[in-house]
Amino acid sequence: MKRLELARRLVVKIGSALLVNGDGQINRDWLASLVADLSHLRTGGTEIVIVSSGAIALGRRTLGWAPGPLKLDESQAAAAVGQIALAHAYQQILGADNLVAAQILLTLYDTEERRRYLNARSTLTTLLREGAVPVINENDTVATSEIRYGDNDRLAARVSSMISADCLVLLSDIDGLYTAPPGSPEAKLIPEVLDITPEIAAMAGKPVSGVGSGGMITKIEAARIAIGAGAHMVIASGRELHPLKRISEGGNCTWFRPKATPIASRKRWIAGALEPVGRLVVDDGAVKALLAGRSLLPSGVRRIEGVFSRGDTVSVMTLTGGEIARGLVAYDKSDAERIAGLRSSDFEERLGWRGRDEMIHRDDLVVIGSFHHEPG
> Can you give the binding site for ligand GLU, defined by CB under 6 A?
16, 53-57, 79, 137-138, 140, 151-152, 212-214
Cα–chain center distance at 239: 24
Q: Identify which of residues 20 and 317 has a Cβ nearer to ligand GLU in the complex.
A: 20
In the complex, minimum distance from the CB of residue 16 to ligand GLU, in angstroms, rounded to a whole number: 5
**Which is nearer to ligand GLU, 57 or 124 (by Cβ)?**
57
Instruction: Tell me the C-alpha distance between 191 and 187, whole Å.
Output: 13
| Closer CB to ligand GLU, 76 or 265, in the complex | 76
Long-range contacts of 122-126 (CB under 8 A, 24+ apart): 122/356, 124/49, 124/159, 124/162, 124/163, 125/163
Query: Between 150 and 322, whose beta carbon lies closer to ligand GLU?
Result: 150
Alpha-carbon dihedral 26, 32, 33, 38, rounded to 10 degrees: 120
Shortest distance (Å) from residue 162 CB to ligand GLU: 17
Residue 20 DSSP code? B
Q: How far is the CB of 195 from ligand GLU (least distance, A)?
A: 26
Measured from the CB of residue 344, what is the shortest distance to ligand GLU in angstroms?
A: 39
| Shortest Å, Cβ 54 to ligand GLU | 5
Q: Label the pairing between strands 254-256 and 278-282.
A: unpaired
- Which is nearer to ligand GLU, 207 or 278 (by Cβ)? 207
Tell me how many degrees the CA angle 115-119-124 measures, rounded to the nearest 5: 145
φ/ψ of 11, rounded to 5, equals -110, 130
